[in-house]
Amino acid sequence: MRGWQEDLYRDLHRHPELSHHERRTAAKIAERLGRIGCQVHQGVGGTGVVGVLRNGDGPTVLLRADMDALPVREATGLPYASTDTVTDSGGREIPIAHACGHDVHVTCLLGATQLLAEGTDRWRGTLVALFQPAEETGDGARTMLDDGLAELIPAPDVALAQHVLPAPAGHVGTHAGPVLSAADSGRVTVYGRGAHGSMPQAAVDPVVLAAMIVIRLQTIVSRETSPGETAVVTVGSVQAGTKSNIIPDHAVLEFNIRTYGERTRSAILDAVRRIVSAECQASGCPKAPEIELFDRFPLTDNDPETTSRVAAAFGEFFGDRAGPMGRQTASEDFSDIPNALGVPYTYWGIGGIDPETYRRAEAAGRVAQDIPVNHSAAFAPVPQPTLDTGSQALVVAALAWLGR
């Protein structure tokens, strides 16, 4: 199995696809699921794929992997690095890379499915192998649900998912309770008044206004959020103007908020609105700002009982390569699926960094500096033992319900 798995991983890595455009990836998945002997549903929510493997009466376990890649220019130097690009509506060329490791997730879930298909004597019940599109934009899970996922598959008893992280490959980590933050993205457009750069008095300068807003937004975390509360407000993008000597008439900021509770979340969103609106008044803007929210991610709050069952199974199988995992500030839309289906879930992490490399960085106190993190241009899990571990983890966790 290792052969096709590693080949597939490199192939997916070389040919990443953006959210909702995972057509080639979906075809590869469906082809492999069919070969394994699953019932296959393609095109669920656009590019989603579901494989169902029935093995007599028993519980139903849903395993989920996400499929999409990111608009990042890969800088790993790997022989199988992506050089793929797409052209956006404005004519710009967008690079694409699997900088978040979803290629690992897909490959491992296919591997786990094959392992379970090959060992039907050791379990009973039903496996649902769900390949979800568009995790990065936070709407892939809902798209599948909106497209009738619940009617398409047997009702699961539990839902399980995993993510590859900048930790030593071969290791798995679990965490009960809130593990991934809720996330909200938003786009702020502020309107000034344009003028020639030599006539500021005729303008309402949106560049200065945008700068004041960026600065002010820092105070939401530094002053308005309880120090014990985990929250992040990032302005990931600011765009204003086209020329040095023309004061533009608007500026656009895109922000992202991470929270672990609804009260904090809504307090921060209120603060963003209050600050943007007041700063526009301070500038004397001729027009009110626009704030548009998008890419909302739910909280990932691992069910304690489910997590402890998985953790126990991991401990037995992986020994001291299994352990606890800290809370992550990242976000996921996986929980939309179990939440919609009304079933408990847990979501664990697997390492993707060459263990020796990691050990050296750790010894030098340089993990933060030397180990690339998810979404960075240099992030690419090593094929092994990442793929073996990820496949095994899914099987081991599933068997905690399905095992005889």
Q: Which of residues 188-207 bind its own copies (CB under 8 A)?
A: 194-203, 205, 207
Could you tell me the smallest distance in angstroms from the CB atom of residue 187 to its own copies? 7
Contact set for its own copies, span 315-374 (CB under 8 A): 326-331, 368, 373-374
Q: Which of 3, 79, 121, 245 binds its own copies (CB under 8 A)?
A: 245
Query: Hey, is 255 helix, strand or coil?
Result: strand
Q: Which of 49, 117, 220, 398 binds its own copies (CB under 8 A)?
A: 220
Give the nearer residue to its own copies in terms of CB position, either 3 or 245: 245
d(CA 109, CA 115): 10
Burial degree of 124 (CB within 10 A; 0-12, 13-18, 19+):
middle
Give the nearer residue to its own copies in terms of CB position, either 208 or 340: 208
Does 144 contact its own copies by CB under 8 A?
Answer: no
252 token code pair: 């656009």
Asked if the bond preceding 133 is cis, omega within 30° of 0, the reply is no
Strand partners, 254: 187, 237
Does 282 contact its own copies by CB under 8 A?
Answer: yes
329 token code pair: 């500030």
d(CA 213, CA 186): 14
190 touches 201 (CB < 8 A) = no
Give the nearer residue to its own copies in terms of CB position, either 12 or 280: 280
Contact set for its own copies, span 64-123 (CB under 8 A): 70-72, 87, 90-93
Contact set for its own copies, span 287-316 (CB under 8 A): 294-295
3-state secondary structure 79-90: CCCCCCEEECCC
Among 1-9, 21-29, 233-241, 381-389, the segment contacting its own copies (CB under 8 A): 233-241
Could you tell me the smallest distance in angstroms from the CB atom of residue 259 to its own copies? 10
Contact set for its own copies, span 258-277 (CB under 8 A): 258, 271, 274-275, 277
Contact set for its own copies, span 371-390 (CB under 8 A): 373-377
144 token code pair: 């599948």
Q: Which of 146, 218, 288, 366 binds its own copies (CB under 8 A)?
A: 218
d(CA 302, CA 306): 8
Burial degree of 236 (CB within 10 A; 0-12, 13-18, 19+):
exposed
Give the nearer residue to its own copies in terms of CB position, either 56 or 244: 244
